[in-house]
Each structure stands twice: as structure tokens, then as C-alpha cells.
Amino acid sequence: LDRKFGLRTIPLALLALCIVSFGLLIPELGIYWDDWEIITMLRLYKLSEFWNYFSGSRPLAAWTYIVFGPFMGANVIAWHIFSLFTRWLAVVAMWWAFCNLWPQNQRQVTLAAFLFAVYPIFVQQPIALSYHQHWIAYFLYFISIGTMIEAIHKPRYFWSLTLVSLICLILNLATFEYFVG
């Protein structure tokens, strides 16, 4: 990467891209699909009821609502901002992990991160309450890979980085089984 656009400015550029691509629409967005059920749960029940709600399909996925629900509550705009923020975190984590994996190809990795930030394969960004979990899972997945690579590159911190990697992997798999492979 050139000096004008250094490694420290890339996360900010990725944030700007996410905001321009998705964030400007947040005031116009509402509640869609399964978000209605989550809003109802947040308004009518205790957070602990999320364990029962998810028990039939993804019994451990309730943790994201239990952890983040108290901050956002039933505020739809807050959930949209949070979903955009988790998208950005996932993109930055992907960029960081792959820069560690391919340090000689940082330009290509950076371009891939910009593409990952806006690639239209994931069109459910407006379904913020349900799909924030996808971005959290991506984030944890890439942090797990990145810390695993760091553990190899930094033998002094091997065990602590491996532990962080395993914790992120377990949380990722507890959120979604999509990344088991």
C-alpha cells in the first residue's frame, strides 16, 4: 500500500464505504421479516426468554440478543446502526486476518475487503435485528483465523492467542453453524 493510504486509514475508509453504501438509508428503514418477532420479544418478555425462543433451531444463538438487547431494546434505528457497525467490524476483521495471512499481498487483500464491504450477495442488511448475527459470526470467524495466524507468527503469545482464537470460534459456532467447515 502506498504512503498516502496507509494501513491505519483503511479501517476508516471501510467505515466510510459502509456508511455511504448502507448507513445513509438507515432513517428510512423499519422492521422486516423476523425482526417483528424479536421486537415483540424485547418489548414483552425478559431477555432470558430468548433461550426458549431459539431452543428449537439455534439454542445458543440467543446470546447476542441477551448481550446486546439491553443496549438497543426495541429501538429499530439503534439496531440498524448496530448491524451496520457489526458489518464494518466483520470487514475490518477479514482485512486484518488476510493481511496477516498474505502480508505480501496487502493491496489485493485491501481490495477484497472493499468488495466484501459492499458485495451484494448479502442483501438482508435492512433486516437488522435478525441478521446482525451474521455479521457477528463473520467477525468472530475472522478474528479466530487472524489470532490463529498471529499465534504462529508470535510464538511468545502462542497460548494466549490460541485461547482467544478458540473462544471466538466457539462463540461463532454458537451463533451460527454456517462456518463449521
Mean pLDDT of the chain: 87
Q: Give residue-wise pLDDT tens across range 146-174.
A: 999 999 999 999 999 999 999 999 888 88
Q: How far apart are CA 31 and CA 2, in angstroms?
A: 42
Q: Give residue-wise pLDDT tens across range 81-112.
A: 999 999 999 999 999 999 999 989 989 999 99
pLDDT at 66 over 90: no
Q: How far apart are CA 132 and CA 150, in angstroms?
A: 27
**Nearest CA among 138, 111, 105 for reference residue 17:** 111
The answer to whether the pTM exceeds 0.85 is yes
